[in-house]
Structure 1
Protein backbone atom coordinates (compact mmCIF):
# COMPACT_ATOMS: atom_id res chain seq x y z
CA UNK A 1 0.00 0.00 0.00
CA UNK A 2 2.86 2.40 0.75
CA UNK A 3 4.25 1.95 -2.77
CA UNK A 4 0.85 2.60 -4.31
CA UNK A 5 0.45 5.74 -2.20
CA UNK A 6 3.84 6.99 -3.39
CA UNK A 7 3.00 6.25 -7.03
CA UNK A 8 -0.20 8.31 -6.80
CA UNK A 9 1.43 11.45 -5.40
CA UNK A 10 2.25 12.90 -8.81
CA UNK A 11 -1.32 12.40 -10.02
CA UNK A 12 -2.84 14.17 -7.04
CA UNK A 13 -0.26 16.97 -7.11
CA UNK A 14 -0.95 17.51 -10.82
CA UNK A 15 -4.67 17.94 -10.15
CA UNK A 16 -4.12 20.27 -7.19
CA UNK A 17 -1.52 22.38 -9.03
CA UNK A 18 -3.72 22.67 -12.11
CA UNK A 19 -6.75 23.99 -10.22
CA UNK A 20 -6.09 26.86 -7.80
CA UNK A 21 -8.09 26.77 -4.54
CA UNK A 22 -7.86 22.97 -4.21
CA UNK A 23 -7.69 22.04 -0.51
CA UNK A 24 -7.77 18.27 -0.26
CA UNK A 25 -7.71 15.37 -2.72
CA UNK A 26 -8.54 11.81 -1.68
CA UNK A 27 -8.62 8.58 -3.66
CA UNK A 28 -10.75 6.03 -1.86
CA UNK A 29 -12.23 2.60 -2.23
CA UNK A 30 -15.98 2.14 -2.53
CA UNK A 31 -16.10 0.95 1.07
CA UNK A 32 -14.65 4.22 2.37
CA UNK A 33 -10.98 3.45 2.88
CA UNK A 34 -8.38 5.99 1.78
CA UNK A 35 -6.00 4.76 -0.92
CA UNK A 36 -4.10 8.04 -1.31
CA UNK A 37 -4.48 11.65 -0.21
CA UNK A 38 -3.02 15.09 -0.66
CA UNK A 39 -3.62 18.15 1.48
CA UNK A 40 -2.67 21.55 0.08
CA UNK A 41 -3.12 23.38 3.39
CA UNK A 42 -0.31 25.76 4.26
CA UNK A 43 1.37 24.35 6.19
CA UNK A 44 0.14 20.87 5.19
CA UNK A 45 -1.96 19.60 8.07
CA UNK A 46 -1.26 15.90 7.51
CA UNK A 47 -4.46 15.26 9.43
CA UNK A 48 -5.37 11.63 8.76
CA UNK A 49 -8.64 12.24 10.62
CA UNK A 50 -9.71 14.64 7.85
CA UNK A 51 -8.90 12.05 5.22
CA UNK A 52 -10.69 9.29 7.12
CA UNK A 53 -13.78 11.47 7.66
CA UNK A 54 -13.88 12.42 3.99
CA UNK A 55 -13.44 8.81 2.86
CA UNK A 56 -16.24 7.59 5.13
CA UNK A 57 -18.56 10.41 4.02
CA UNK A 58 -17.75 9.64 0.38
CA UNK A 59 -18.76 6.01 0.84
CA UNK A 60 -22.14 7.18 2.14
CA UNK A 61 -22.59 9.68 -0.71
CA UNK A 62 -21.62 7.06 -3.28
CA UNK A 63 -24.24 4.73 -1.87
CA UNK A 64 -26.94 7.43 -1.90
CA UNK A 65 -26.05 8.50 -5.44
CA UNK A 66 -26.22 4.90 -6.63
CA UNK A 67 -29.69 4.53 -5.09
CA UNK A 68 -30.86 7.64 -6.93
CA UNK A 69 -29.22 6.54 -10.19
CA UNK A 70 -31.16 3.27 -10.01
CA UNK A 71 -34.35 5.33 -10.48
CA UNK A 72 -33.35 6.16 -14.04
CA UNK A 73 -34.55 3.26 -16.21
CA UNK A 74 -32.14 3.74 -19.11
CA UNK A 75 -28.89 4.09 -17.19
CA UNK A 76 -26.61 1.52 -15.65
CA UNK A 77 -27.35 2.71 -12.10
CA UNK A 78 -23.77 3.76 -11.38
CA UNK A 79 -22.80 7.12 -9.93
CA UNK A 80 -20.38 9.15 -12.06
CA UNK A 81 -20.20 12.56 -10.37
CA UNK A 82 -21.59 14.29 -7.29
CA UNK A 83 -20.97 18.00 -6.74
CA UNK A 84 -21.99 19.76 -3.55
CA UNK A 85 -21.69 23.53 -3.23
CA UNK A 86 -21.58 24.72 0.36
CA UNK A 87 -20.77 27.99 2.08
CA UNK A 88 -17.01 28.24 1.76
CA UNK A 89 -16.44 25.87 -1.12
CA UNK A 90 -17.20 22.83 -3.19
CA UNK A 91 -17.03 19.08 -2.77
CA UNK A 92 -16.61 16.74 -5.74
CA UNK A 93 -16.93 12.96 -5.81
CA UNK A 94 -16.23 11.14 -9.08
CA UNK A 95 -16.11 7.46 -10.00
CA UNK A 96 -12.49 6.73 -10.91
CA UNK A 97 -12.32 3.05 -11.81
CA UNK A 98 -13.74 -0.23 -10.63
CA UNK A 99 -14.37 0.23 -6.91
CA UNK A 100 -12.45 3.52 -6.62
CA UNK A 101 -13.44 7.18 -6.32
CA UNK A 102 -11.74 10.55 -6.52
CA UNK A 103 -12.87 13.18 -4.00
CA UNK A 104 -11.85 16.84 -3.86
CA UNK A 105 -12.52 19.68 -1.43
CA UNK A 106 -11.99 23.13 -2.92
CA UNK A 107 -12.34 26.67 -1.63
CA UNK A 108 -15.12 29.00 -2.68
CA UNK A 109 -13.00 30.76 -5.33
CA UNK A 110 -12.35 27.58 -7.32
CA UNK A 111 -13.28 27.46 -10.99
CA UNK A 112 -15.94 24.75 -10.64
CA UNK A 113 -15.98 23.93 -14.35
CA UNK A 114 -12.21 23.63 -14.50
CA UNK A 115 -12.20 21.32 -11.49
CA UNK A 116 -14.78 19.02 -13.05
CA UNK A 117 -12.86 18.95 -16.33
CA UNK A 118 -9.48 18.29 -14.68
CA UNK A 119 -10.98 15.49 -12.59
CA UNK A 120 -12.52 13.92 -15.73
CA UNK A 121 -9.22 14.23 -17.58
CA UNK A 122 -7.33 12.63 -14.70
CA UNK A 123 -9.79 9.75 -14.42
CA UNK A 124 -9.75 9.20 -18.21
CA UNK A 125 -5.94 9.11 -18.31
CA UNK A 126 -5.29 6.90 -15.34
CA UNK A 127 -8.59 5.38 -14.24
CA UNK A 128 -7.24 1.85 -14.33
CA UNK A 129 -4.54 2.85 -11.82
CA UNK A 130 -7.23 4.17 -9.46
CA UNK A 131 -9.15 0.89 -9.34
CA UNK A 132 -9.49 -0.88 -6.02
CA UNK A 133 -9.89 -4.64 -6.07
CA UNK A 134 -12.66 -6.11 -3.92
CA UNK A 135 -11.49 -7.28 -0.49
CA UNK A 136 -11.41 -10.97 0.19
CA UNK A 137 -12.67 -12.44 3.44
CA UNK A 138 -10.18 -15.28 3.07
CA UNK A 139 -6.97 -14.94 5.09
CA UNK A 140 -3.85 -14.15 3.08
CA UNK A 141 -1.30 -16.94 2.81
Structure 2
Protein backbone atom coordinates (compact mmCIF):
# COMPACT_ATOMS: atom_id res chain seq x y z
CA UNK A 1 0.00 0.00 0.00
CA UNK A 2 1.38 3.40 -0.98
CA UNK A 3 2.00 5.81 1.89
CA UNK A 4 0.51 9.29 1.61
CA UNK A 5 2.97 12.13 1.09
CA UNK A 6 4.35 13.81 4.19
CA UNK A 7 3.62 17.36 5.30
CA UNK A 8 5.72 19.78 3.32
CA UNK A 9 4.99 22.92 1.32
CA UNK A 10 6.96 23.11 -1.94
CA UNK A 11 5.54 25.21 -4.76
CA UNK A 12 2.90 23.92 -7.16
CA UNK A 13 0.12 25.36 -9.34
CA UNK A 14 -2.16 27.98 -7.80
CA UNK A 15 -5.90 27.19 -7.57
CA UNK A 16 -8.41 29.16 -9.60
CA UNK A 17 -10.18 31.77 -7.52
CA UNK A 18 -13.85 31.36 -8.29
CA UNK A 19 -16.38 31.68 -5.47
CA UNK A 20 -19.27 29.23 -5.12
CA UNK A 21 -22.63 30.58 -4.02
CA UNK A 22 -24.44 27.76 -2.24
CA UNK A 23 -22.03 27.20 0.66
CA UNK A 24 -22.31 23.42 0.29
CA UNK A 25 -19.59 22.84 -2.27
CA UNK A 26 -16.99 25.53 -2.79
CA UNK A 27 -15.99 26.05 -6.41
CA UNK A 28 -12.43 27.33 -6.03
CA UNK A 29 -11.27 24.00 -7.52
CA UNK A 30 -14.43 22.51 -9.10
CA UNK A 31 -12.49 19.51 -10.44
CA UNK A 32 -12.15 18.33 -6.83
CA UNK A 33 -15.90 18.23 -6.11
CA UNK A 34 -16.26 14.57 -7.09
CA UNK A 35 -13.51 13.58 -4.66
CA UNK A 36 -15.15 15.32 -1.74
CA UNK A 37 -18.58 13.92 -2.57
CA UNK A 38 -17.07 10.42 -2.83
CA UNK A 39 -15.55 10.65 0.65
CA UNK A 40 -18.80 11.90 2.20
CA UNK A 41 -20.76 9.12 0.48
CA UNK A 42 -18.42 6.30 1.54
CA UNK A 43 -17.82 7.27 5.19
CA UNK A 44 -21.03 7.60 7.25
CA UNK A 45 -20.83 10.36 9.86
CA UNK A 46 -18.64 12.68 7.78
CA UNK A 47 -19.72 16.29 8.36
CA UNK A 48 -17.09 18.41 6.62
CA UNK A 49 -14.37 17.59 4.09
CA UNK A 50 -11.95 20.03 2.56
CA UNK A 51 -8.85 20.38 0.46
CA UNK A 52 -6.60 23.22 1.56
CA UNK A 53 -3.21 24.69 0.85
CA UNK A 54 -0.31 24.51 3.30
CA UNK A 55 -0.84 28.12 4.29
CA UNK A 56 -4.49 27.57 5.21
CA UNK A 57 -6.36 28.60 2.07
CA UNK A 58 -9.51 26.62 1.31
CA UNK A 59 -9.33 25.11 -2.17
CA UNK A 60 -12.55 23.07 -2.12
CA UNK A 61 -14.95 21.91 0.55
CA UNK A 62 -18.09 19.91 1.17
CA UNK A 63 -20.22 20.50 4.22
CA UNK A 64 -20.61 23.69 6.25
CA UNK A 65 -20.84 27.23 4.97
CA UNK A 66 -17.90 29.11 3.47
CA UNK A 67 -17.16 31.13 6.63
CA UNK A 68 -16.86 27.97 8.76
CA UNK A 69 -14.77 26.27 6.07
CA UNK A 70 -12.37 29.23 5.98
CA UNK A 71 -11.95 29.12 9.78
CA UNK A 72 -11.34 25.37 9.64
CA UNK A 73 -8.74 25.80 6.86
CA UNK A 74 -6.87 28.38 8.94
CA UNK A 75 -6.95 26.09 11.99
CA UNK A 76 -5.65 23.21 9.84
CA UNK A 77 -2.59 25.27 8.91
CA UNK A 78 -1.84 25.74 12.60
CA UNK A 79 -2.29 22.03 13.34
CA UNK A 80 -0.01 21.14 10.43
CA UNK A 81 2.69 23.51 11.66
CA UNK A 82 2.50 22.24 15.24
CA UNK A 83 2.59 18.57 14.19
CA UNK A 84 5.59 19.22 11.94
CA UNK A 85 7.45 20.82 14.88
CA UNK A 86 6.67 17.84 17.10
CA UNK A 87 7.79 15.39 14.39
CA UNK A 88 11.19 17.10 14.30
CA UNK A 89 11.72 16.01 17.91
CA UNK A 90 11.79 12.32 16.95
CA UNK A 91 15.17 10.73 16.23
CA UNK A 92 15.87 9.32 12.79
CA UNK A 93 16.14 10.56 9.26
CA UNK A 94 12.46 10.68 8.31
CA UNK A 95 10.50 13.07 10.51
CA UNK A 96 7.57 13.57 8.18
CA UNK A 97 4.01 13.84 9.45
CA UNK A 98 1.51 11.92 7.34
CA UNK A 99 -1.69 12.01 9.40
CA UNK A 100 -3.03 13.92 12.40
CA UNK A 101 -6.14 12.66 14.22
CA UNK A 102 -7.85 14.55 17.03
CA UNK A 103 -10.63 12.83 18.96
CA UNK A 104 -12.95 15.03 21.02
CA UNK A 105 -16.16 14.32 22.92
CA UNK A 106 -18.20 15.33 19.87
CA UNK A 107 -16.23 13.74 17.06
CA UNK A 108 -13.01 13.40 15.12
CA UNK A 109 -10.74 15.69 13.11
CA UNK A 110 -8.42 14.22 10.45
CA UNK A 111 -5.65 16.06 8.58
CA UNK A 112 -3.59 14.28 5.94
CA UNK A 113 -0.84 15.41 3.59
CA UNK A 114 -2.23 15.23 0.07
CA UNK A 115 0.57 16.27 -2.26
CA UNK A 116 3.08 19.10 -2.44
CA UNK A 117 1.61 21.95 -0.42
CA UNK A 118 -1.91 20.46 -0.17
CA UNK A 119 -3.87 18.75 2.60
CA UNK A 120 -7.09 16.83 2.97
CA UNK A 121 -9.07 17.49 6.16
CA UNK A 122 -12.28 16.01 7.54
CA UNK A 123 -14.55 16.52 10.54
CA UNK A 124 -16.76 13.59 11.52
CA UNK A 125 -19.26 12.56 14.18
CA UNK A 126 -18.12 10.66 17.27
CA UNK A 127 -19.55 7.42 15.85
CA UNK A 128 -17.52 7.51 12.63
CA UNK A 129 -15.37 4.51 11.79
CA UNK A 130 -11.98 6.22 12.19
CA UNK A 131 -10.17 3.38 10.43
CA UNK A 132 -12.49 3.61 7.42
CA UNK A 133 -12.04 7.39 7.30
CA UNK A 134 -8.25 7.10 7.38
CA UNK A 135 -8.26 4.43 4.67
CA UNK A 136 -10.65 6.34 2.40
CA UNK A 137 -8.58 9.51 2.81
CA UNK A 138 -5.37 7.58 1.98
CA UNK A 139 -7.00 6.03 -1.09
CA UNK A 140 -8.16 9.42 -2.37
CA UNK A 141 -4.76 11.00 -1.79
CA UNK A 142 -3.03 8.12 -3.61
CA UNK A 143 -5.38 8.43 -6.61
CA UNK A 144 -5.04 12.19 -6.92
CA UNK A 145 -1.37 12.80 -6.14
CA UNK A 146 -0.19 15.97 -7.84
CA UNK A 147 -3.74 17.05 -8.79
CA UNK A 148 -3.99 18.47 -5.26
CA UNK A 149 -0.66 20.31 -5.37
CA UNK A 150 -0.67 24.01 -4.62
CA UNK A 151 2.00 26.48 -3.62
CA UNK A 152 1.98 28.94 -0.74
CA UNK A 153 0.42 32.36 -1.27
CA UNK A 154 2.57 34.88 -3.08
CA UNK A 155 2.79 38.31 -1.43
CA UNK A 156 0.84 41.06 -3.16
CA UNK A 157 3.01 43.51 -5.09
CA UNK A 158 3.64 46.86 -3.44
CA UNK A 159 1.80 49.78 -5.10
CA UNK A 160 4.09 52.03 -7.12
Which range, TM-score by smaller chain?
Answer: 0.7 to 0.9
1:17-32 maps to which residues of 2 (within 5 A)? 17-32=41-56
Counterpart of 1:124 (choices 138, 142, 150) is 142
Structure 2 stretches lacking a partner, 5+ long: 1-15, 19-26
Cα pair 2:58 2:69 within 8 Å, conserved? yes
Higher helix share: 1
Cα pair 1:99 1:133 within 8 Å, conserved? yes
Counterpart of 1:87 (choices 105, 116, 119) is 105
TM-score, structure 2 as length reference: 0.78
Instruction: Give distance in 1, aligned partners of 2:153 and 2:105.
Output: 37
Root-mean-square deviation (CA, aligned residues, Å) is: 1.5
Instruction: Give distance in 2, aligned partners of 1:32 and 1:134.
Output: 9
TM-score, structure 1 as length reference: 0.88
Aligned to 2:4: none
1:1-141 maps to which residues of 2 (within 5 A)? 1=16, 2=18, 5-39=29-63, 45=64, 47-137=65-155, 139=157
- Larger relative contact order (C-alpha < 8 A, sep ≥ 6)? 2
Cα pair 1:69 1:75 within 8 Å, conserved? no
Aligned residues: 133
Instruction: Give distance in 1, aligned partners of 2:123 and 2:54.
Output: 18
Structure 1 stretches lacking a partner, 5+ long: 40-44
